[in-house]
Chain A
Amino acid sequence: MERVPILKIGPTLFVSIQIDLQDDSVLALQEDLADQLVATGAHGVIIDITAVEIVDSFIGRMLTMIGSISRLFDAETVIVGMRPAVAITLTELGLSLKGVRTALNAEKGLEILNGKS
């Protein structure tokens, strides 16, 4: 099973999802992020889904849950780089990803994280 790598840069954790994720990998990511948040005390999480072509209801729920878990550790999550086709599909599915912020790219995502104080 592929484990998605988590990078720490300053007070922020970066996750870049590059491949077509299996359900197990998404669950593992959730666990790994929780571990890392505790271990590093990071204030923010950026999840880059620029390369992700499909976000179904399961993955959508996982992303929302990651947002909730992060908040428990006083960290904010920003999902960046969602593709237009994915956004339209998620909207049709009725998923609004409440609880996570969104931005066009990692740079804008960082602005959001730094803006909050």
Chain B
Amino acid sequence: MDVGATRGRMAAYLRDHQDKVVSRWSELVAAGVRGRTSHDEVRRELTGIYTLITRVLADADEHAAGELRATLDELSRSRARDGFTPSETALAVFSLKEAVYELVADSAELVAEFLAFSRLVDDLGLRTFVAYSAAREQIIADQASAMMELSTPVVRLWDGIIAVPLVGTLDSARTQLVMEKLLEELVTAGASHAVIDITGVPTVDTEVAQHLLKTVSAARLLGAECTISGIRPQVAQTIVSLGIEFGDIATKATLADALALALRQAGLKVVPQ
């Protein structure tokens, strides 16, 4: 069977019945969107996709397939942003089959053509699903990254002394961010002391300790001395039982103690007025 001729016949049929099919398709899709998009907008979107599908079937030009893919990807992305589920978007595409089937059901001659057409629409529907997942993953990654940035402030405690109060787990991604922000602030503030407060870090195991050591190592390359503060009693016990050594890095129970130490090291003293 000549696939080209089959598709060509389908393309011609779709072109001839465009208005009827697009109207029915819009009806089916509009029922699913439940008012989230206007009927006119739905019809416009679908007409665009319909024309592209027709062109692809007719093998009229080589750009049609690429354009169709791009249009569907964009549709998935915008639907994802608007809060539609991937099923809703995919079903919207699949319902084109229903719209066409209602018309060809009576004419036996287009059976072969319809099968090929059906397969094409299936692929397109699945494609929207894949594109949807990718879009959602991107959004989640964006939000995670923004959250991480927000929860890593670097503050200036005094001339030449900055502090990084860490809140949450310290994994390798977070450590990279902490190092970048800490070092940048060391340069901007011209600081020579950094206090890394880990009161808000729930668990300190060997991995977290290694991340802390790495951070201190990087700060030292910029000439800064570091103190780790906020070591809670249970954390202290864990550290000792795991055999973690902080070597020559000063550690203090509270941020206040660390500040006092840093001031002393900077040759400063706090006296009553």
Contact = CB atoms under 8 A, between A and B. Distances in A.
Direct A–B contact in the complex, CB atoms closer than 8 angstroms: yes
Interface of A: 80, 82, 84, 86-88, 90-92, 96-97, 101-105, 108-109, 112
15 contacts: A82-B221, A84-B179, A84-B222, A86-B221, A87-B222, A88-B183, A91-B179, A91-B221, A92-B214, A96-B220, A101-B223, A103-B192, A103-B223, A104-B190, A108-B192
Contacts of A80: 223
Interface string B165-203: 000000000001001100110110010100000000000
Contact of A88 (B179, B187, B224): B179
A92 B224 CA distance: 18
B223 A91 contact: no
Nearest to A109: B223
Given A101-B223, A102-B220, A108-B223, A91 B187 contact: no
A104 B179 contact: no
Given A84-B184, A87-B183, A105-B190, 10 more contacts: A82-B221, A87-B179, A87-B219, A87-B222, A88-B218, A90-B218, A97-B221, A102-B220, A108-B192, A112-B223
A97 B220 CA distance: 10
A88 B180 contact: yes
B71 interface: no
A84 B187 contact: yes
Contacts of A103: 192, 223
Interface of B: 176, 179-180, 183-184, 186-187, 190, 192, 214, 217-224
B1 to A, nearest CB: 60
A82 B219 CA distance: 10
Nearest to B190: A104
With a 10 A CB-CB cut-off, give which of B183, B190, B214 has the most chain A CB atoms: B183
Contacts of A84: 179-180, 183-184, 186-187, 218, 222
B223 A96 contact: no
Contacts of B218: 84, 87-88, 90-91
Contacts of B224: 104
Contacts of A109: 223
Cβ-closest 3 pairs across A and B? A84-B183, A103-B223, A87-B221
A104 B219 CA distance: 10
A108 B220 CA distance: 14
B194 to A, nearest CB: 12
Contacts of B219: 87
A91 B192 contact: no
B176 A88 contact: yes
A4 B40 CA distance: 71
A38 B192 CA distance: 32
Contacts of A91: 179, 214, 217-218, 221
A102 B183 contact: no
